[in-house]
Chains A and B, each alone.
Chain A
């Protein structure tokens, strides 16, 4: 793995602005993905993890979502500022995205083969026959057994797992440098999830494609990712490599999340849990957003929101947005 950053978000802010209200779904988020890396983006529903992905792709179409601050650097450019036409060239070709519901992201009235070749032809100047060849090749690469037949079938004729493979094939067909996978296995059964995760891992290892894996499942993170960014209430609360994160989580939220996940073979009498509920976007607590649910809450947390502290452990840099990390910090965002 190289250290080159292929995609970098700095201080990104995305808001949903309607006539009556403004809610800030992503509030000053910074992280980056290195070449050949699988970066996990973890958090619970409403933490803004999917919105950051949509912000990168600028896929807000019919929603009142808008990027209101910060930058997304890709290929030396801030892609939040380029024209829609240029963005369309990046989407799919440079950065591809797959979604939780593969069925709803494929066109139900178009044959699989046609959808695949159309995407390829849109971005590459090759003949229809070559595009078909390439599509077929892609389907085989993602482990679809009867690829020729499948080219002539419609999405509803396939299972969820098969459709997700087709989506991955489509995502890979233009050889993008980043693949964003938004909860790619959440709608699938465990045994099918295992197949898809295996496939994504091999794509990452063989093609060196960077993957931004968005998930709420810590098991998936541990299996797949090199580095992890934890989000809570529209903010990044912790960032670390996967081993340090699970061995010694720094942020109380990460700690709580890991402790409240039941693990096979753990056999503990009683699960730990985080008290209370995730705050709603229009009712954020004062100071630290995790404060009201935190066991290490102090007076200061109720007044001042902590910055993201940088900490160095055994030569590795980690980040943590908590006052408890201040004493070891070597810098901050």
Chain B
């Protein structure tokens, strides 16, 4: 299968200074992450807050400069491309944001919002852009009259549709969707998820889907990448991950999700303690402080990711031998 995106050992460290004269430290938001996304695939990044999933998404589309590693997009290395040279490439990689309230410029009408990518990347004239915007609104299921309205006149779900129309307007190859349904109510969330799935099928899109919601991720993904404290814990296909999770963190994460069925009672793994600060991640395996299967070696030696068969990658000492 052809790879659309490949990231090799990418890192992003944000410098922080504690207090006025405190020593300089760095938050290792992303610390050596590898994965690839095949054409036409939906790869999800899951994890809890501070695991670096959103930062990873922004590194892939080069919205943030990398501290280390390489990003290959559609066969070309885009790691060191300057911002002006990056701009035309952005046509092929668009983003959908979590907060539909603040990701749309409140002073722009829908028409200008949705046609902005067309203005930047195509030489369409005004009439052609207008026609294209009308088509796009129809595709994402917004009423015809929306074109001359402002974002504040729409509900959360409708605004997310505007954001989606904007992202697909220039026929991108990759869409990075950063928690696209987290801010939405359940009944609207499913509408938007269905829309994203339909678009992926109809337009042959590739998604990098970032979410903390494991039920949503299971529904939409082909493959899933579980992150913890800036590192990858496990990468697997949907079936592998949900039927046979191998990393203790994945197991705990899956067992923690409340199931909307009172007749199903499960044994739950309750993790001890809090997520450690990414400024001072634990030595050895970064999960060992909360792990219920922690061994001695975990406290000193960081586990290397290992393919345990069929592309199922786990970074855990239990699966190294």
Contact = CB atoms under 8 A, between A and B. Distances in A.
A271 B219 contact: yes
A190 B270 CA distance: 10
Interface residues of A, number: 47
Contact of A194 (B157, B158, B193, B270): B270
A192 interface: yes
B274 A159 contact: yes
B260 A219 contact: yes
Interface in B192-240: 193-194, 197, 212-216, 218-219
Interface stretch (B34-42, B59-67, B181-189): B181-189
Given A271-B194, A277-B155, A44 B260 contact: no
Given A161-B274, A264-B214, A218 B219 contact: no
A159 B268 CA distance: 22
Given A195-B271, A263-B215, A271-B219, A223 B190 contact: no
Contacts of A268: 219
Nearest to A198: B270
Nearest to A190: B256
B258 A222 contact: yes
A267 B219 CA distance: 7
Interface string A202-222: 000000000000001111111
Nearest to B252: A191
B152 to A, nearest CB: 12
B259 interface: yes
A275 B188 CA distance: 8
B15 to A, nearest CB: 21
Contacts of A218: 186, 260
Interface centre among B155, B258, B271, B290 (most CB of A within 10 A): B258
Interface in A204-255: 216-223, 242-243, 246-247
Contacts, number: 131
Nearest to A192: B274
Contacts of B310: none
A70 to B, nearest CB: 26
B261 A246 contact: yes
Nearest to A273: B190
A44 B262 contact: no
Interface string B240-277: 00100000000011111111111100001011011100
Contacts of A191: 48, 252-253, 256, 270-271, 275, 290
A159 B276 CA distance: 10
Contacts of A242: 262
A274 interface: yes
B191 interface: yes
A296 interface: no
B185 A45 contact: yes
Contact of A263 (B253, B261, B263): B261
Nearest to B254: A264
Contact of A260 (B187, B197, B273, B290): B187
Nearest to B263: A243
Interface string B166-192: 000000000000000000011111110
A260 B48 contact: no
A189 B227 CA distance: 13
A246 B186 contact: no
B49 interface: yes
B259 A219 contact: yes
Nearest to A244: B262
Residue of B185, B253, B275, B290 with highest tally of chain A CB at under 10 A: B185
Contacts of B275: 159, 189, 191-192
A198 B269 CA distance: 11
Given A189-B212, A257-B186, A162 B263 contact: no
A278 B157 CA distance: 10
Nearest to A47: B185
B181 to A, nearest CB: 10
Given A262-B215, A262-B219, A222 B260 contact: yes
B282 to A, nearest CB: 15
29 contacts: A159-B274, A189-B212, A191-B256, A191-B270, A192-B274, A192-B275, A194-B268, A194-B271, A197-B258, A198-B270, A216-B186, A217-B258, A218-B186, A219-B258, A219-B260, A220-B258, A222-B259, A246-B263, A260-B186, A260-B189, A261-B260, A262-B193, A266-B219, A267-B218, A271-B190, A271-B194, A275-B191, A277-B155, A278-B188
Given A257-B186, A260-B190, A273-B191, 12 more contacts: A45-B185, A190-B214, A190-B256, A192-B275, A193-B256, A193-B258, A195-B271, A261-B190, A261-B260, A262-B219, A263-B215, A271-B193
